[in-house]
């Protein structure tokens, strides 16, 4: 079993469900607050691998929903600068397993850790179906 560093937004019901799935698979999960982490662009970039820049973003973030930030038209350096300044823009969770990093649960090493080929049931935000919405997205 693996020890997983899981960068989450505390109070996020989706992140809580994801942590529980990893624990149920027998892994140790160390939850970290993505909003309090002192990110730098180079370190943050390591979580995104070869993902397209637009997929680095949390599409539920208020600044994206309002149109202030458009992930589809931004370059990597600008995206990282925005995310370092506003971690709510970062796609969650960020995962680190012995130095293997990813953003979201639909990439390795998470798929292997859960013994699944897809994480569709763990990726979607729950707050839209829940009357008690997250205070921040």
| Set 12, 102, 125, 134: catalytic member | 12
The b/e string for 50-64 (b: 16+ C-beta within 10 A; e otherwise) is eeebeebbbebbebb
pTM of the predicted model as reported, rounded to 2 decimal places: 0.83
pLDDT for 30-89, tens place per residue? 999 999 999 999 999 999 999 999 999 999 999 999 999 999 999 999 999 999 999 999
Domain ranges of the chain: 3-120
Report the CATH number of the 3-120 domain. 3.40.30.10
Q: Is 134 a catalytic residue?
A: no
3-state secondary structure of 8: strand
């Amino acid at each position: 079993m693996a020890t997983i560093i899981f960068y989450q937004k505390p109070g996020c019901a989706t992140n809580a469900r994801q942590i529980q799935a990893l624990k149920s698979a027998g892994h140790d999960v160390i939850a970290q607050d993505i909003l309090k982490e002192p990110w730098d662009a180079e370190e943050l970039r390591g979580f995104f691998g070869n993902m397209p820049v637009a997929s680095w973003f949390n599409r539920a973030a208020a600044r994206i929903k309002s149109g202030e930030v458009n992930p589809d038209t931004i370059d990597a350096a600008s995206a990282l600068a925005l995310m370092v300044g506003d971690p709510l823009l970062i796609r969650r969770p960020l995962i680190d397993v012995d130095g293997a990093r990813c953003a979201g649960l639909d990439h390795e090493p998470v798929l292997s850790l859960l013994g699944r080929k897809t994480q569709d049931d763990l990726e979607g935000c729950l707050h839209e179906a829940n009357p008690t919405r997250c205070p921040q997205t």
